[in-house]
Amino acid sequence: MWTTESLWFEVGIVSIIFAVGNMTMGHFEEQTPKIRRIGKYLFILLLICGISMVFGRTTAMTALSTFIIPLLYVHGYYLPKKKGINGLTGEPKSKYYDFRGWDKNIFSK
C-alpha cells in the first residue's frame, strides 16, 4: 500500500522542508512578496523533481542536501562578519532591513 517509488516522495520532502521553514523562519521574510515566495517553492520543487527524473532519487536528495552549504556560509560567516547581523536572529533589525532593501518604518503603510 505505501510506496516511495513515485515523484510524490520528492514533492513531500520539499513541501515539508518549506512548511517547517516558513513556520519557524517566516518572520524573516515578512516583506518579501508572496509571489516570490511561491515562485521559490515551485522552482525548487521542479528542480528536485527534474533531477530525480533524469538522474535518480539519490542524486536529487544529494542536490537538496547541498543547499545547506550556502545556508551555513551566509548565516554563519557572511551576515555576522561582513554585515554585522546576527545570522540566527536577524538583529539588529535596522541593519537586516537595510541589507534586504526593505522600508524600516513598517507602520507607515
How many Å is the Cα radius of gyration of the chain? 17
pLDDT value for 109? 55
Q: Is 50 found in the same domain as 33?
A: yes
Q: What is the number of domains present in the chain?
A: 2
- What is the per-residue pLDDT across 12-53, written as a single tens digit (0 to 9) for each? 999 999 999 899 888 888 889 999 999 999 999 999 999 999
Instruction: Give me the domain span that covers residue 31.
Output: 7-66
Q: What is the pLDDT of residue 27?
A: 85
Query: Could you tell me which residues come within 8 angstroms of residue 29 by beta carbon, excluding any fewer than 6 positions away?
Result: 22, 37
Per-residue pLDDT of 49-83, as tens digits, reads 999 999 999 999 999 999 999 999 999 999 999 99
Domain membership of residue 30 (yes or no) is yes
Q: Are residues 19 and 49 in the same domain?
A: yes
Domain assignment present for 109: no
Q: Check whether residue 21 and residue 54 sit in a common domain.
A: yes
Please list, in sequence order, all residues whose beta carbon lies within 8 angstroms of the beta carbon of residue 92, skipping any fewer than 6 positions away.
Answer: 84, 85
Which pTM does this prediction carry? Answer: 0.84
| Together in a domain, 43 and 91 | no
Residues 39 and 61 both lie in one domain: yes
